[in-house]
Structure 1
């Protein structure tokens, strides 16, 4: 890790809706340097795994030191990254200080979570306004497959020729509906959408915009436990405890259309007897320490138990 101790020259400015890491991609494109690492050498040394889903990372702190205007580090992250969506679900023992890369638990199992997504209509509007197209934060939200503005299906960067974990370094900015390397037509995300998925997407937007508050995570987990009847593993389960846990898990697995799980996760149906992905293990969500479960996981539980974020009761 390394941090900037002076104000570096940027070839572009941070836009109001832009994801903070997207700024680095556009800077690389305009810098004239061939490699992403070289273009960012005076800005940050945190140049690997440039995923939009990172909750915290050294590059964020470096850019906070560059662009912060007196607000706290967390306030800066809320306005420039997806931090506002993840913040309610970060356990108390996990620090957010820009020292290490912090990713959601089992991020690789969630469809499109690490893909840079964009709307072709937004790109057209950027070009019409004389603005270089950029990656919008709203499009990078977990589970987001539709543009919040145009309701069109989002595009992802070309899967035929991109290098694993190097999408942003190679493409720098959203460039329309055709791959600039292999000239293939980019297909919009073709994913199942129903009222539950639309609710998850709208809830993500509300969380990111600070339009809704959720109970502290410890209290939320208490509600999960009391509502579901889940018991904690302590050297083993009683027969009744095991049965209650299995019944709660079965009810959860059967609550949603199976296509919901397959639209949100890429490792469903790994076991013939289960259609849920491993990330939706209720016991782990309630009791596993030291990790940040995706907002998608929490929102699905909230959807089943309470119907809506606004219906979550207080802990008596």
Structure 2
């Protein structure tokens, strides 16, 4: 070949070779194709041409084109291999480069077995043809227009027309270029506006697929992605069992029968309807790319997410999770690292069991919504994510007086497009820390009702700890009078004086005496920590003995000595770093104030006792901004953003980005004028 035409933007290789066949001046198609591929038996193939190595070897000397350039940019290879495993995609590429590719590439791509037809005629967009002729002096076949089931041009959003050129024509060696004779506008079938809108969306998805280089993944990857997304949208339970009736109905309502018939993917059709089950099966196989795109758009999955981000259904979000034990030091802190998830078949709920090291265990439930579903919009197809927040910062485990049963936490669910609805968390086990806190409060003389409020439990449960199984009325007269003679004494009857009880009591008594003997300088709180379970059992079942054999309460004054000079220097460095981070932030500026510094630095009120931190106080006073100082920073930030976006530096644009109010608008406008003059702008 003495010359080779440069491919135009989005031109398919078939069209490039067709333009060459016109310009070379040779009439015989057989001679032309022999000159292109070096073999007279070669064929003019549009979608997945083969023997590209032969074409490369016949190109003019120093030609910049390679086999990869032609395959990735000027054939339908990236479309048909997008959802194939990497080894199969590479195999198809090798077949296209080799002389013996032919129909083998089509079979390996799953085209022959998909039962979906290829285009019969070359397609064109009248507006593209007109613009191409005006710009280049000739029209050409666009690659995106030749993709099967692409009904509209993604650039002009107009319906595509069939030309008179057969893709698989009577002469298999002829390359036919696009021209005014074979690209004539004819009558098109009528489609509803909503259907055309869906055609546009799919065509843009295909364009994204052609122009991007997404990594090839195995079939099981896509099957797992879809099933995990089914779980997120409640089309499948936690075990992966799909609710096909709901899914099929929503899929049909989402696209409409007219659109699905045009795509030949109506899932209610006996011949076509099994594809959605096949593509999500664990033993998935090759599926037509257009059907992958249909399912991904319905599920609200972008191509980037589908190919690059592994979806994992987490009904309770990412850990660690909060401990809901109000008696623990880490109350409402994310310390629980593992959750056990179980599916309850009877009510179709997903239950999560959260166990903390303090012994507290609770269960959260995610109920599958019943009734009418919300059909997602075509533009996104994405449902809102649940944002569960503890409503009561004091714990959320309400007493009986609040209307919530004992052992339950009220959770607030916020979902986009859905009404707020109460959810409950059931306490499975309170644990030793919670029980010890109850006993400690009882020792302090706190009333049962107050303990119930502090620990967010039913008052009856607290009374069970306080009173035990027995009742003072069941005791003898001597014991009753003995108990009444001591103010605040609480008599706990727990177990009958059986042999087992006596043996267990003796065991715990000896254990407690050992703990007390080994730690003579410890107080009650420290002893209770050392002998957690022993202390709990004795307090509940042998309280009087425990009181006699436990040291009295110690009241130790806390050591509050702090070297404020050293702390001042440490906090000053931390505050300086925080202020610098605020100034360097690329987000919209915030006014530097004492509150903002405290929030950004994470310092507590105790740490920022400014009357004891003279260096820190002086720096904060110097760093605090007036409203006008903030506006000056905002003006510089807005100018930088407008320059990045390539927008005009006008007073209107800058004031809009700064968000200045009426109070300072006049001063801000004057400052903007001054800055623009300094930049040489008006």
Tell me the TM-score normalised to structure 2 length. 0.35
> Are the equivalent residues in 2 in contact too, given 1:215–1:314 (CA < 8 A)?
no
1:145 aligns with 2:151: yes
Deviation at 1:112, TM superposition (A): 5.9
Structure showing greater relative contact order (alpha-carbon pairs closer than 8 Å, 6 or more residues apart):
1
Instruction: Tell me what 1:48 maps to.
Output: 43
Deviation at 1:244, TM superposition (A): 6.2
> Are the equivalent residues in 2 in contact too, given 1:223–1:315 (CA < 8 A)?
yes
Matched residue count: 281
> Are the equivalent residues in 2 in contact too, given 1:111–1:263 (CA < 8 A)?
no
> Are the equivalent residues in 2 in contact too, given 1:111–1:264 (CA < 8 A)?
no
Cα distance in 1 between the residues matched to 2:189 and 2:171: 20
Selected match of 2:129 from 123, 128, 145: 123
Deviation at 1:251, TM superposition (A): 5.9
Q: Which runs of 5+ in 1 are unaligned?
A: 1-7, 230-240
> Are the equivalent residues in 1 in contact too, given 2:229–2:311 (CA < 8 A)?
no
Report SS of the residue matched to 1:147.
coil
Instruction: Tell me what 1:172 maps to.
Output: 176
Instruction: Tell me what 2:587 maps to.
Output: none
Deviation at 1:252, TM superposition (A): 4.6
Identify, as 1 or 2, the structure richer in strand: 2
Cα distance in 1 between the residues matched to 2:171 and 2:160: 16
Instruction: Tell me what 1:238 maps to.
Output: none
Deviation at 1:203, TM superposition (A): 0.8
Q: Greater CA radius of gyration, 1 or 2?
A: 2
Cα distance in 1 between the residues matched to 2:53 and 2:210: 19
Selected match of 1:303 from 297, 301, 305: 297
Instruction: Tell me what 1:4 maps to.
Output: none
> Are the equivalent residues in 2 in contact too, given 1:82–1:137 (CA < 8 A)?
yes
Deviation at 1:187, TM superposition (A): 1.6
Report SS of the residue matched to 1:40.
helix
Report SS of the residue matched to 1:157.
strand
> Are the equivalent residues in 2 in contact too, given 1:12–1:26 (CA < 8 A)?
yes
Instruction: Tell me what 1:263 maps to.
Output: 262
Deviations 1:232-280 (A, max 9, x none): xxxxxxxxx9996787667655653111122223x969xxx61773683
Change (3 A) 1:249 1:152: closer
Deviation at 1:166, TM superposition (A): 4.5
**After TM superposition, where is structure 1 displaced by more than 6 Å over at least 4 residues in a row?**
241-247
Q: How does 1:1-316 map to 2 (within 5 A)?
A: 8-10=1-3, 12-44=5-37, 45=39, 47-48=42-43, 50-51=45-46, 53-54=47-48, 57-65=49-57, 69=64, 73-74=67-68, 76-94=70-88, 95=91, 96-97=93-94, 98=96, 99=98, 100-101=101-102, 102-103=105-106, 104-106=109-111, 110=116, 113=119, 115-158=121-164, 164-166=168-170, 172-176=176-180, 178-179=181-182, 186-187=185-186, 189-190=188-189, 192=191, 193-210=195-212, 213=214, 216-217=217-218, 218-227=220-229, 252=251, 255-265=254-264, 274=269, 277=272, 280-283=275-278, 286=281, 287-289=283-285, 291=286, 293-310=287-304, 312=306, 314-316=310-312
> Are the equivalent residues in 1 in contact too, given 2:123–2:163 (CA < 8 A)?
yes
Deviation at 1:106, TM superposition (A): 4.0
Deviations 1:153-193 (A, max 9, x none): 2222227xx595448855711112x449xxxx542654643
> Are the equivalent residues in 2 in contact too, given 1:25–1:169 (CA < 8 A)?
no
Q: Which runs of 5+ in 2 are unaligned?
A: 232-239, 313-682
Change (3 A) 1:152 1:283: closer
Change (3 A) 1:138 1:203: same
Report SS of the residue matched to 1:13.
coil
Change (3 A) 1:282 1:195: farther
Cα distance in 2 between the residues matched to 1:305 and 1:214: 20
Cα distance in 2 between the residues matched to 1:244 and 1:275: 19
Change (3 A) 1:118 1:285: farther
Deviation at 1:109, TM superposition (A): 5.2
Cα distance in 2 between the residues matched to 1:11 and 1:166: 26
> Are the equivalent residues in 1 in contact too, given 2:126–2:185 (CA < 8 A)?
no
Cα distance in 2 between the residues matched to 1:81 and 1:163: 14
> Are the equivalent residues in 1 in contact too, given 2:79–2:210 (CA < 8 A)?
yes
Report SS of the residue matched to 1:158.
strand
